[in-house]
Chain A
């Protein structure tokens, strides 16, 4: 009986202990790490945590690259923590709040200022300068500059992260459809004017099976991701040079937005408003029912299996005559508090700037090469889809831009623009009215973000 009782006692003790231990897991873990170091054995293995996100193809590719890194760096072990894309921000910020920042982790370029001001990201400049493996001149300037910050302005100064990749959002077209309709293929170098673009789209929008319903459309853009190309190429923007004023009330901006909405309401070259969002136009493109659709490098592995030929072209250009689009990126940074900065930086470099790592990732078709010489070689090979891969490189090197939210402490003001936009897209409100109504609201949020930034700098 007594024995039985003490057994119960033990179990309950374990319960309590595990509760307590789970609660301060962070500390316990790091102390355990230290303890091992003291016993002399673990000074040989340095464990890094690497937190990242991605789909299954990317996870597979990254797991393999990290395995290779471990082989090349004996004594370093990498613990990989992966989450689904939409949970990543929450998990990372929870880890930061709980003082459990991973040694190496992905972060959004828009969060750069906040993370640097709060002492979360390590300044990589000294390490990069000493490293012989890294030639910054051979990496897209656009990508590296995204992670520079001098305490005032993002884009200049020390480097706090390396681009995991750069994601030029190019415009694709259904080559097979053009050939079938006997329409000359778009020029790779000279962008169409807006009028020319509408003309081609009208020719391609038709009822192919004669049931009285249109089932082949010119295009179907998602406003969140495609409006930028039209606004920028018309010489307008969401924010001014100083990054303190919301400039959507510029007539050039309204003109571009109106043009965007008119594609559906006046020219009828896109599926109806309700069908035009997210999945649906993507599905239509995949089925070969759309002539034009944006293509990101991350789409390449999926688009391998399209039932038609596709290729890339410049976006149609507004009044500036120059095409425009955005280039995304995700940074990989190192925690300020990491115990093994050298190894952590080595891992970052392996994933972003080494020939070995880059080759593996490019072969998995999840991104374009970060290394310029490798990228040029890659683009020169026109036998793989899409043939005009050079367009991706032109965007990164020449006409791609960062999304407006990147420059500010948070992107809330920018997101508000898209929250209320549907009536304009549906033709129930003019672009002019909309920008007038929305500008002050966005300005208020931007002011708040600027105020927050000032505060975070003082700390």
Chain B
């Protein structure tokens, strides 16, 4: 009895020890900064000196801040890329799942952008989008289309960024779908075939419901990631684009905090963004709960 509790205590100690690095890391590098910026959002902190409590004043200013509205609109606009990416990735995954020759090579090709540095990719794409000698316009020229100067035009800069983010995310999404597709039992399809279901019906009633958890995961993570888009914008349109047409919320936060000495105001925006992500994710979880019963 005694030895047992000894062992128990020892194991508990080890357990605690092993979980402590991530827990400590979370406390120090996540929880503390979040709490700090939450407090900062109620102050006029300039990021250097003392913080003075000013109540909800920052949040009130946000309501009438044109640039914040523009940045929020841009951020949400650029999320159009999420459904596009999901459809493309699923099509690719279905294709690769058929066991055509060279599947592994294709998988690697599509996955390369995922592991590449976002900064390097952004630089590469800003060349591709160059109006004079960019790859994209050279390609369009083949069809006799004169392409715009993508990143310098307020109407094309967002579509250009969407194109790039879709391309970047494709490999990761595709790989998730591929794994999901491979875990669908073959017997379901055989049964469907016996019942006389055609390819599309099989997809609709078997494949799509079976990969639903993966779709859900992708939508949630993509929206969270999309809300925080920054590096691409900072590198490809360093001033936030013509007439601020490509600035995202995080880009505006960064400008306020680090160029304009308004850390308190930037914190307030970060809090609003955090709440937005929380609510959207919550809604999705609720929706997923409900629809799970349909299967």
Chain A residues with Cβ below 8 Å from B131 are 274-275, 280
- Select one of B28, B258, B262 contacting A19, CB under 8 A: B28
Give the A-B contact count at a CB cut-off of 8 A. 101
Q: A285 interface residue, CB < 8 Å from B?
A: no
- The reply to whether B259 and A89 contact each other, CB–CB distance below 8 Å, is yes
Q: Which of the 9-residue segments B148-156, B201-209, B285-293 touches chain A?
A: B148-156
Contacts A23-B29, A419-B240, A452-B261 given: A16-B24 contact, CB under 8 Å?
yes
Q: Which of B17, B28, B29, B261 has the most A CB atoms < 10 Å from its CB?
A: B261
Chain A: interface residue total (CB-CB under 8 A): 45
Residues 277-299 of chain A, each 1 if its beta carbon lies under 8 Å from chain B, else 0: 11110010000000000000000
Per the 8 Å Cβ criterion, residues 106-123 of A in contact with B are 111, 114-115, 117-120
What's the least CB distance linking A250 to chain B, in Å? 24
Q: How far is the CB of A425 from chain B (nearest CB, A)?
A: 10
Question: In the docked arrangement, what's the CA distance between A274 and B132, Å?
Answer: 10
Residues of A within 8 A of B20 (CB): 12, 16
In the complex, residue of chain A having the shortest beta-carbon distance to the beta carbon of B50: A459
Q: How far is the CA of A5 from the CA of B7 in the complex (A)?
A: 13
Contact of B259 among A5, A119, A410, A456 (CB under 8 A): A410
Which B residues are in CB contact (< 8 Å) with A456? Answer: 46, 48-49
Contact size range, B? 35 or more
Nearest to B18 among chain A residues (CB) is A12
Residues on B with beta carbons closer than 8 Å to the beta carbon of A23: 28-29
Among the listed B14, B152, B261, which residue makes an inter-chain contact with A409, where contact means beta carbons less than 8 Å apart?
B261
For the complex formed, measure the closest distance between the CB of A83 and the CB atoms of chain B, giving whole angstroms: 13
Determine if A455 is an interface residue (Cβ-Cβ < 8 Å). Answer: yes
Among candidates A86, A115, A280, A409, residue contacting B238 with C-beta atoms closer than 8 Å: A86
Within A205-251, the residues touching B (CB, 8 Å) are 224
Find the residue from B49, B67, B153, B234 having the highest chain A CB count within 10 A: B49
Q: B-contacting residues of A (Cβ < 8 Å)?
A: 5, 8-9, 12-13, 15-16, 19-20, 23, 86, 89-90, 93, 96-97, 111, 114-115, 117-120, 224, 274-275, 277-280, 283, 409-412, 418-420, 422-423, 441, 452, 455-456, 459
Show the binding face of B for A, using Cβ within 8 Å.
14, 17-18, 20-21, 24-25, 28-29, 44, 46-50, 52, 66-67, 130-132, 148-149, 152-154, 234-235, 238-240, 242-244, 254, 257-263
22 A-B contacts (beta carbon < 8 Å): A16-B20, A19-B25, A86-B235, A86-B238, A90-B254, A93-B48, A114-B46, A119-B49, A224-B239, A274-B148, A275-B149, A280-B132, A280-B149, A410-B261, A418-B239, A422-B154, A422-B242, A452-B261, A452-B262, A455-B44, A456-B46, A456-B49
